[in-house]
Structure 1
Amino acid sequence: MDVFTAQRRNFMSSTANTLLLFGATGDLAQRMLLPSLCALHSDGLLEPDMRIVGTARSEMTDSEFRNFARGALEKFMPANRRGGTADFLNRLSYQQLDVKDPAGFSALAEKVGGPGGQLAIFLSTAPSLFETTIKGLQTAGLTGEGSRISLEKPLGVDLASSCEINDAVAEAFPESRIFRIDHYLGKETVQNLIALRFANVMFEPLWNSSYIEHVQITVGETVGLESRVDFYDEAGALRDMVQNHMLQLLALVAMEPPTSFDASAVRDEKVKVLRALRPIGPGESVTGQYRGGAVGGAIVPGYDEELGRGSNTETFVALKAHVDNWRWKGVPFYLRTGKRMPRRVTEIVVQFRPIPHSIFNGTRTVPNRLVIGIQPEENITLSLMAKVPGLDREGMSLRSVPLEISMPDAFTGQHRRIAYERLLLDLIECDQTLFVRRDEVEAQWNWIDAIRGEWKKEGLTPKSYTAGSWGPSAAIALTERDGVSWHE
């Protein structure tokens, strides 16, 4: 039994015996959900009698759905993790459903096994269908005490629409049975940030404004619109990436130590950070939109060319944020995300302050820096000053050297898990620690709505940047006027 298995024994009393997947024939199901569930099955982490029922608008028999799932596993799951695929496929069944037709939910309830029991529902449909779907589940008796529901983003486009969605869900499910997914929280290195901060005595005394100069969070994507044209042009980078993923990373970096690694304790501390975010002021934000260029040696079109029309939607945003509390007073948090960046990267950079006095005359010391790489490579690098080998007759020569921990190398033999493996298992076992609570979502939207209001007031429109660059030059100026350079 590995740690991943042992941690969950406390949750077994509320483990679901049925998992109901809405959108079971969609892209997310093929790429992430079915491979994740098959991996959990192969590792013996699913109860032997747990059933998985898929539903979507497509007409399929159980056998056809199993063949569909087999094709998805062969395409998207590494061969060395497909052990026990045949047994996994036997867990699957399927029920066609148009959620706009209330009459169809009775057949779905019959397929699931009717009311009662422990039911986990994964809702991966358009938010416009949430209310209809939940009413159908209620009518069919599938929202009882043993049921819990997981929601995929987007959960609204602003605070008002988010509250509308959350109100609809709350009509059928209490907050203790609502699991809002931010898949970044399922990533090993994001969880490792919690371990790094609170399981190592050397970091906590330094984790404050006395020793940290600034923090950078970068999420760079090399891709353009792909298949998300309509959604992305309505959302933009601020709502697509900053509102959820980046603010969750910021909260984990900045939060106070929770009393325990418990869902309520962790989320209580995160929401305090989100509520302490100072409103972004004039000159503290930059927006951009990519034009044609080259990424990875390939020529790519501009956003307007991909879209087929002109648009003021931002594909890049950089922000200078502050957390107004004792721990972080005066420490800027620089956030940057964009499409068509030079490389795909998600990382957190913690820049420490310079030493107060150098005893090494004539030798420049470089402040320590902690870099937490989340994707594509999971690693942690701490730069330290060290002596350069030699006799040093004219004074000690120093150089910054990295201490690197590659997470896959540090835990040889452990599988590199898909983020959804952890999140799906937590949903099945009813552990909310790595899911987002309603007050967190509303605090995030409060801050984001204020930024959009500031943009409207300033008449801010996106500045052009060449695909394959790190965004418009104004993003460089945002940090460099503070004497800071982006980590690249």
Structure 2
Amino acid sequence: MVSRVIPVDPFDLVVFGATGDLARRKILPGLYRRFVAGQIPETSRIIGSARTEMDAAGFRAFVAEAIEEFLDVKKRDADSVARFLDHLHYVAVDAKGDGGWPELAALIRRDVVQAYYFSVGPSLFGDLAERLHRHGIATPNSRIVVEKPFGRDLASAKTLNATLAEHFDESQIYRIDHYLGKETVQNLMAVRFANILFEPLWNARHVDHVQITVAETVGVGGRGAYYDKSGAMRDMVQNHLMQLLCLIAMEPPYRFDPDAVRDEKLKVIHALLPVEPDDIVRGQYRGGGKKGAAPSYAEDVGDPATRTESYIALKAHIANWRWKGTPFYLRTGKKLRGRASEIAIVFKEVPHSIFGDEEGWRENVLAIRLQPNEGMNLSVMIKEPGPGGMRLTEVPLDMSFAEALGEDGADIPDAYERLIMDVIRGNQTLFMRGDEVEAAWAWTDPIIAAWEARGDRPKGYDPGSSGPEDALMLLHRDGRRWREIRE
């Protein structure tokens, strides 16, 4: 099976913060891959912009180095890189001043799609939005892309929304969450709503519980200063895990339309019950304890008294007819045993087993792997081959995208590639709406306020483990257990 490539309309894409880490690692190499795939028309232009003084030749050399560093040699060649670089331009601008803006205005074309990627800190969103209008660059058809963090609480999210709304309509604002661009996340919607097989079972009558896991093997690294003001709750749960929960739990939209999908996601967030203190566990990774060993979280962020969590696990409930009584267990953390992002739908056992108390009995589980090795796995019970009676064993019905789609189809576009192309198309389905962001913070803020008021300290856990022991107990007391995080 070969994936189809549908070209977008010609565009001018301005990447503010073009010399930053995100642009270098993801945005610019991703645009090159879309160019090689034939999705970007030859008349399109990519304009880098930052405070750094640089000419077009310097920017092209910068992008060429990024492509060489972050793309496998099999995914690039000198001729295509040279052709891609011909589409690049650069203008140095001052986000808080007027320097460079007239030059940028003179470069932008009015007869193509205009998109502006704010690959900068949220403190500059308002300045960029205001200057795009003051200098007559943005039009009613322009689109802006804003990166997370979109606020650090409800009040700051409302302020950011209001600031952007002064200059752009909601239909022009694309709040990007790269998890929604992953192939498997979108396939989750296809599995649910394009097949009659699962949707009749997708409710509290048949689903025992749901687990959402995003595990990382790395620590905070060079992000320590930012991360210590954020923590796992703000950095991962409020956005990434919340979006995954919404896609699992939402009702079928009346059609696959941006606002129809986001309306249903918003209903899920509004239906989330407050989380009880006993239903949440915060953790912080320890150090190796020996000279030369890996540093602890506190050492990584340079604050021995820090109470910021690098791990969080919680139990959430959705108060609606579909999910009443079905718990959703969410966990994410750094320096864990393996790197894995997975959604597991754990179905209930059969009402009555005709095979008696067969040892090794397992529930059916639909496991959706977001990374690595994107794919889906459905575990079912069958008879163990051979004589000797009816012995049951669990086997997987496995669909790895790399195997199912073949060599050509396995080269799945990165999430950023897909989402940027959706911006050019004007498709907001996989982007968060302003009221979604605010509703997520409205649910998250009381949880954070409660543990801060109690003065809770995160539980310590060893690097390479599955997290704090208390997190294991969170499921154990419900008669359940976490799925294994594989190395």
Q: Same fold (TM over 0.5)?
A: yes
Q: Tell me whether 1:373 sits opposite 2:400 in the alignment.
A: no
Cα displacement (A) at 1:264: 1.3
The 5 A counterparts of 1:439-478 are 439-478=435-474
Q: Which runs of 5+ in 1 are unaligned?
A: none
Structure 2 residue aligned with 1:78: 72
1:264 to 259, 272, 286: 259
Cα displacement (A) at 1:81: 2.4
1:27 to 6, 10, 21: 21
Render the CA deviation track for 1:135-160: whole Å, top value 9, x for unaligned.
11111112211211000111110011
1:325 to 314, 320, 336: 320
Q: Which runs of 5+ in 2 are unaligned?
A: none
Render the CA deviation track for 1:247-275: whole Å, top value 9, x for unaligned.
00000110111122211111111111111
Distance 2:91 2:107 in 1: 7
Cα displacement (A) at 1:2: 6.3
8 Å CA contact 1:345–1:375 kept in 2: the answer is yes
8 Å CA contact 2:5–2:37 kept in 1: the answer is no
8 Å CA contact 1:16–1:119 kept in 2: the answer is no
Specify the SS of the correspondent of 2:228. Answer: helix
Specify the SS of the correspondent of 1:485. Answer: coil
The 5 A counterparts of 1:79-478 are 79-83=73-77, 84-113=80-109, 117-293=112-288, 299-310=293-304, 311-364=306-359, 365-392=361-388, 395-412=389-406, 413-414=408-409, 415-478=411-474
Cα displacement (A) at 1:3: 5.2
Query: Aligned residues, how many?
Result: 476
Distance 1:357 1:378 in 2: 34
Render the CA deviation track for 1:387-432: whole Å, top value 9, x for unaligned.
012223xx41111111111111100111221111101101111111
Cα displacement (A) at 1:190: 0.9
What is the RMSD computed on CA atoms of the aligned residues? 1.7
Structure 1 residue aligned with 2:50: 56
8 Å CA contact 1:277–1:324 kept in 2: the answer is yes
Specify the SS of the correspondent of 1:227. Answer: helix
1:36 to 27, 30, 46: 30
Letter in 2 for 1:229: G
8 Å CA contact 2:91–2:100 kept in 1: the answer is no
Specify the SS of the correspondent of 2:230. Answer: helix
Distance 1:303 1:435 in 2: 32
Distance 1:421 1:362 in 2: 50
Letter in 1 for 2:20: G
8 Å CA contact 1:197–1:203 kept in 2: the answer is yes
8 Å CA contact 1:184–1:190 kept in 2: the answer is yes
Distance 2:358 2:216 in 1: 38
8 Å CA contact 1:119–1:148 kept in 2: the answer is yes
Letter in 1 for 2:466: W
Letter in 2 for 1:388: E
Farther-moved stretch of structure 1 (28-37 vs 459-468): 459-468
Distance 1:265 1:293 in 2: 49
Render the CA deviation track for 1:306-333: whole Å, top value 9, x for unaligned.
1222211111111100111000000000
Distance 1:137 1:182 in 2: 23
Structure 2 residue aligned with 1:482: 478
8 Å CA contact 1:117–1:146 kept in 2: the answer is no
8 Å CA contact 2:285–2:461 kept in 1: the answer is yes
Cα displacement (A) at 1:4: 4.4
8 Å CA contact 1:318–1:337 kept in 2: the answer is yes
